Chains A and B, each alone.
Chain A
Amino acid sequence: MTFTIPIENGNGVKDAEADSQRTLYPYVTGTSVVAIKYKDGILMASDMGGSYGSTLRYKNIERMKAIGKHSLLGASGEISDFQEILRYLDELTLNDNMWDDGNSLGPKEVHNYLTRVMYNRRNKFNPLWNTLVLGGVKNGEKYLGMVSMIGVSFEDNHVATGFGNHLARPILRDEWREDLSFEEGVKLLEKCMRVLLYRDRSAINKLQIAKMTEEGVTVSEPYSLKTFWEFKAFTNPTVGAEGS
């Protein structure tokens, strides 16, 4: 399945080996993550699916994890690379805690660290095949940002990865407000996740919603959304189309 780009530099055998050391394609992938700022902090939602190509192979993957005291990381893309990133962050937070000096890494610091990591890997043609969502609250300030596998990084009031950018963000652009309550925020995220469930073939109906506030992180138990498949557009999609 893999092939090496032929490079004439006398290291024929070594090139094949070298190629097996870097990420060429993703294998087990997670789909969209959607996150918003709300009144008390950050809300993030993702499903628990891990696809192996077109097969929905794994159905119990947690794609959102707490980082330190102040941050929440969600990832889509290659699951093994996400686990690698968690290991990097584990080391980072461990060292930060060992200082024990009253200073702690906030979401902004973690986001920038991840941006540096992703960008440097991209420059070596060995990317971590993920799009990361980093949210957190520190000293009352809410932070929500995103980093892609090529190192593109930015902050916003609402972010999404993959299909979420195309299906969820238009909803959020219309309906997001600064002072959403927790219930309103969850409802808004569920609306986005429902659309993704209908339209994204890699989505599964088992999702978690994570809440990040000054007090800390809580990740909900997995649950399912109610779906309705009897819409006329679903039962008879081509009515009125040309040639039908």
Chain B
Amino acid sequence: MFRNQYDTDVTTWSPTGRLFQVEYAMEAVKQGSAAIGLRSRSHVVLACVNKAQSELSSHQRKIFKVDDHIGVAIAGLTADGRVLSRYMRSESINHSFTYESPLPVGRLVVHLADKAQVCTQRSWKRPYGVGLLVGGLDESGAHLYYNCPSGNYFEYQAFAIGSRSQAAKTYLERRFESFGDSSREDLIKDAILAVRETLQGETLKSSLCTVAILGVDEPFHFLDQEAIQKVIDTFEKVPEEEEGDEAGEGEAEAAAVAPAEQGGAGAGDQDVAPMEM
């Protein structure tokens, strides 16, 4: 996959019909630390793992409020993510100003995807190296979308991106059918449990993750550390005992699935480029 003669330029096709630069951009997303999103009929929860450059620095912000009814979590080149968040905020506020009404999230992601597509068809640009999990509300309820550097977007019930996201995805795959009718509290709990899957053995502390929620009658906001710790305490209280609750099952299965995925990411922690988080 690497070192082809057709990968120098984003506007060069390979003989097999691929744009390698775009695919490399998607690799950058996989190097960033994990971001997770899930939704019920009325709420969307975004969660991410806090990574800091060193012990001395504060952690990178990966979740942004776009509007009261839209939030975004990013993975990959956070600088690109910030620029796109600014674009989303701008679109949202312009719509609110003209129509006195919130921008439907489905329309925002299409604008975002079209913007990303432009960078795949200009020789003087490069694709954005960031994946975005956009959660928001519109007339038809709560939605969660994933926007790719390729300019594609998909709607999800639940999704995870970034390094070691496969573990979280496996957890979510088992549980997603119940998310639609989940209560707000259960949704938050599932999000934090999914984050825990990506940590692979590291103890889950509220300082390691950021959680944000939005819903019908609930504008986008971050949960504070105390609230997160409370949820963690409900399933981490007795970590060793096999009580047959979800925490126990989750841990056993995650341990089985996790080692196999993403060869680069596991050993790659020390090799993570400074601009990617």
A residues lining the B interface (CB < 8 Å): 99, 101-106, 108-109, 111-113, 116
Contacts and interface: CB of A to CB of B under 8 A. Distances in A.
A152 to B, nearest CB: 16
Nearest to A104: B139
The residue among A103, A108, A112, A116 with the most chain B CB atoms within 10 A of its own CB is A103
B104 A105 contact: no
Given A112-B101, A116-B97, 20 more contacts: A99-B106, A99-B107, A101-B104, A101-B106, A101-B140, A102-B106, A102-B138, A102-B139, A102-B140, A103-B104, A103-B107, A103-B138, A103-B140, A104-B139, A106-B101, A108-B100, A108-B101, A109-B99, A112-B98, A113-B98
Interface residues of B, number: 11
Interface string B94-111: 000111110010110000
The residue among B97, B100, B107, B140 with the most chain A CB atoms within 10 A of its own CB is B100
A116 B99 CA distance: 9
Interface of B: 97-101, 104, 106-107, 138-140
Contacts of A116: 97-98
A101 B107 CA distance: 8
What are the 4 closest A-B residue pairs judged by CB atoms, nearest first?
A112-B100, A109-B99, A103-B104, A102-B140
Contacts of B140: 101-103
Nearest to B139: A103
B126 to A, nearest CB: 30
B139 A113 contact: no
A116 B98 CA distance: 6
5 contacts: A102-B139, A103-B140, A108-B99, A108-B100, A109-B101
B106 A103 contact: yes
Nearest to B141: A102
